[in-house]
Structure 1
Amino acid sequence: MVSMLLALGGGAAAAYVLRGHDNAPSAVSWVDVRPEVGGKAIDAVLARHAEAVKRKDLGGWMADVDQRDSGFVQRQRQQFENLTKMPFAELSFERTAQSAPKMAAFLPSQLFDQYHAAVKVVAVTVRHRIDGVDSKPVATPWLAVFGYSQGRWVIAGDGVGKDLPTGEAGQPWDAAGAITVVRNDRVVAVLSADAGGDAGRTLLQLAETGLQQVAAVRPNGWDGKVLLTAVTDRKIFDTYFAESQDRVAQVAAIAVPYYSGVAEWSARPAYATTRVVFNPSELSAPKAELQHDLTHEFTHAAMGPVTGPYTPRWVVEGFAEYVAYKDGKFNAAGIRQALGDIKIDKFPTDKEFYDEPRNYVSGWLACRMIAETYGQAKLVAFYEAFQRLSEVESVAREVLGVGRDQLEQQWRDYVAKQRG
């Protein structure tokens, strides 16, 4: 196949030689790639896509989808059906300016060949608000591949690669199979359609209990409502571990913060909410384990508005464990077994925290010690202070009246006492 690019007016237009068969070109189609021209056409496609979801118009959705790849067509049909089941209060697909070379890295090679280079990856912000859950619009990413076919731009595929923006291909409507949505006043849970009614009811009951446990510690400062994804499609969960696949089996669920803009595409996006995504392998776990996991992740959602780059991992995870285990009773033998031979010396650094699963236990005991010694309100204030201060030393002195060294000594003494 022959492909020719002619630059006119500083690259404002491109000419592609398109073949009707293998022997000779049948037509030359001029594709104007100026943003104000091609961009408007793509904006119109995205607007029609959003309108199709709102109207539950499958024909309108599929009208802008290239029909040549049967597999992609089927995936688009399923995505449309899943989108129409989501309780959106708002939904839009917005083209987001990104550099062409950056986006080209996500272009599947077969689509480049199929469209004779008349194809590009477009950064799309899926801006939405879940009815009854979100107080602010949430931005999630979609890398849409647009190809020029028969005189118009059509959706031809999805971007691929290792460095996809957080949440790309990880939304509940991206599930390969059909979904179902169950809800109560404070939780919207998305499950696979074949999960069964009992699974949905059980999950909602556990989620409601988890939210009550979180509200007992953190009653204000967040929406108090959560979108929970618990589908069996592995890729929805695995998407969030693209660069750390070794950790997937160790994580029961993940709390994902989202912002007013896609974090990787925005300079200073404002925090909007936290979504919770379950590891499919954990959905059959005992109820007590599921209850703990839900409460832990909901705590992350509750603290999302006050969690920043300076909040230590031992505080983030230790606080979530404190809430999840707050009403539990533990004996010295159980704590000794959970800690094993881990050395309690200095608070673990962020870099090393996740390398040792028992750091969750030591972080829990640190937060429990602060709550028991200084009061639960001081523990919450200690967490919140990292919005303004970047070091444990300064936060401990301001909130607790002690320095880091003294706080670590109190922690060591407390752990030794709990071990018996």
Structure 2
Amino acid sequence: MGLPGRWTVAVLAAAALVAGCAPHGDPAADGVRGTVEAHHRAALGGAPLASWTYRVLAVRRDGRRAAVDAELTYALDGYDAAPATTRRRLDLARRDGRWHVTGDRPAEGQPAQLWDQGPVRAVRGARSLVLGVGHPRALLGEVAAAADRAAPAVAAAWPGGPWRGTVVVLVPGSLGAMAALLGEEPAAYRGVAAVTTGRTGGGSADRVVVNPEAYRDLGDFGRTFVLAHETAHVATRAATTAATPLWLSEGLADRIAYRGTGRTAAEGAPELARSVRAGNTPAALPADADFSFGGDPAAVARAYGGAWLACELIADRWGGERLADFYRAAGRSGARRAFRDVLATTPEEFTRAWRDRLRQEFSSAPSR
């Protein structure tokens, strides 16, 4: 978006930028920090900032102009357990003996930030912060209300851990804008109501990013379900690593989102039910590739349904606390070892039990 009011940067501050840092305690340098922070407080629509820091990586000067590569680190007060970090490109021009920042945009290869897409409006819920571009406050309030319903349900299902019990939801103006925030092509998220960003293993600022075009087609149940599912990913992030199979992370998120809804297996997994009733019981637990965005929607739906029922099986047979223990162990050392150490079984034995469970839920076909 445009830069309202232009930022005025003192000569001393520009020299400090060239040097790679601006020393704390210098009134001019501190004034620049305050100017930049004040601008972005406005750009973020009043969202509460705990910190906002630029670290200069490189400076290229050409006479009265300069380009600065910088790392931006910021955290939302009361919501982020760890800061978000991205790289930015700032353009400066020297006029009237002073430097002025004339542009601030994502560095090459970096995704857009929400404030790059227009003025940000912030709505705070009891357990949520919703930041949107191009939407009326009433719509953002509805998203906050759905997130507020989801967060306590997730907290009850996943107690403990570093999660703060709150969630930040971004609502960009369109599917294309959503994809830009994620650094992907729009086709990858068509029909996907929301996704969660953040690094596995925690240590990052998680965001639930809503696809407004798919989200608005959902009813009240669907909206609350989607936000509960994505909030579950935020809650479990610290226990989720590259070793966690997607059937476990997606299945647990669905189990948490379905809790207390009264949905039956057939209602929650209709595509899988049709497949099993037709005699096509899956031979193995869903592979990571089965959850790919942009894939065959029916196949993706079967993968999610199978993952959900795998987690339900663990909870029914071993208990909900043991399911949480299994999840954490899988993140530390992989699912195969977690099956042995936590559930005293093997992946093969569990898969046979899961296939039997699917047939019992969806058909009268005999076990084989």
Identify whether the pair has TM-score above 0.5, normalized to the shorter chain: yes
Cα distance in 1 for residues equivalent to 2:211 and 2:32: 30
How many Å apart are 1:239 and its aligned residue? 2.3
User: Which residue does the alignment assign to 1:85?
Assistant: 46
Distance 1:283 1:387, change over 3 A: closer
Distance 1:152 1:409, change over 3 A: farther
Cα distance in 1 for residues equivalent to 2:267 and 2:248: 22
What is the TM-score of this pair, normalised by structure 1? 0.69
Cα distance in 2 for residues equivalent to 1:46 and 1:251: 45
Cα distance in 2 for residues equivalent to 1:153 and 1:42: 18
Give the aligned residue type for 1:91.
Answer: S
User: Which residue does the alignment assign to 1:195?
Assistant: 136
Cα distance in 2 for residues equivalent to 1:315 and 1:119: 49
How many Å apart are 1:369 and its aligned residue? 1.1
Asked whether the equivalents of residues 187 and 226 of structure 1 are also in contact (C-alpha less than 8 Å), the reply is yes
How many Å apart are 1:227 and its aligned residue? 1.5
How many Å apart are 1:384 and its aligned residue? 0.6
Cα distance in 1 for residues equivalent to 2:41 and 2:265: 53
The match for 1:249 among 167, 172, 190 is 190
Give the aligned residue type for 1:374.
Answer: W
Asked whether the equivalents of residues 187 and 207 of structure 1 are also in contact (C-alpha less than 8 Å), the reply is yes
Q: Does 1:95 align with 2:55?
A: yes
Cα distance in 2 for residues equivalent to 1:317 and 1:162: 32
Q: Does 1:122 align with 2:122?
A: no
The match for 1:206 among 116, 130, 146 is 146
Q: Does 1:397 align with 2:330?
A: no
Asked whether the equivalents of residues 170 and 235 of structure 1 are also in contact (C-alpha less than 8 Å), the reply is no
Cα distance in 2 for residues equivalent to 1:277 and 1:194: 14
Distance 1:407 1:201, change over 3 A: same
1:289-368 residue pairs with structure 2 within 5 A?
289-331=222-264, 334=267, 337-339=270-272, 340-341=274-275, 343-354=281-292, 355=295, 356-358=299-301, 359-368=303-312
Cα distance in 1 for residues equivalent to 2:29 and 2:309: 50
How many Å apart are 1:298 and its aligned residue? 0.5
Distance 1:254 1:34, change over 3 A: same
Cα distance in 2 for residues equivalent to 1:333 and 1:189: 33
How many Å apart are 1:363 and its aligned residue? 0.7
Tell me, what secondary structure is at the counterpart of 1:227? Answer: strand
1:35-54 residue pairs with structure 2 within 5 A?
37-40=18-21, 48=31, 50-52=33-35
The match for 1:143 among 88, 91, 108 is 88
Asked whether the equivalents of residues 146 and 227 of structure 2 are also in contact (C-alpha less than 8 Å), the reply is yes
Q: Does 1:185 align with 2:126?
A: yes
Cα distance in 1 for residues equivalent to 2:48 and 2:321: 36
Asked whether the equivalents of residues 123 and 143 of structure 1 are also in contact (C-alpha less than 8 Å), the reply is yes
Asked whether the equivalents of residues 68 and 90 of structure 2 are also in contact (C-alpha less than 8 Å), the reply is yes
Identity fraction in percent: 25
Asked whether the equivalents of residues 189 and 204 of structure 1 are also in contact (C-alpha less than 8 Å), the reply is yes
The match for 2:112 among 166, 169, 180 is 169
Cα distance in 2 for residues equivalent to 1:253 and 1:308: 21
Distance 1:203 1:336, change over 3 A: closer
Give the aligned residue type for 1:39.
Answer: G
Distance 1:175 1:347, change over 3 A: same
Give the aligned residue type for 1:402.
Answer: T
What is the TM-score of this pair, normalised by structure 2? 0.78
How many Å apart are 1:124 and its aligned residue? 1.9
Cα distance in 2 for residues equivalent to 1:185 and 1:127: 22
RMSD (Å), alpha carbons: 3.4
Distance 1:299 1:214, change over 3 A: same
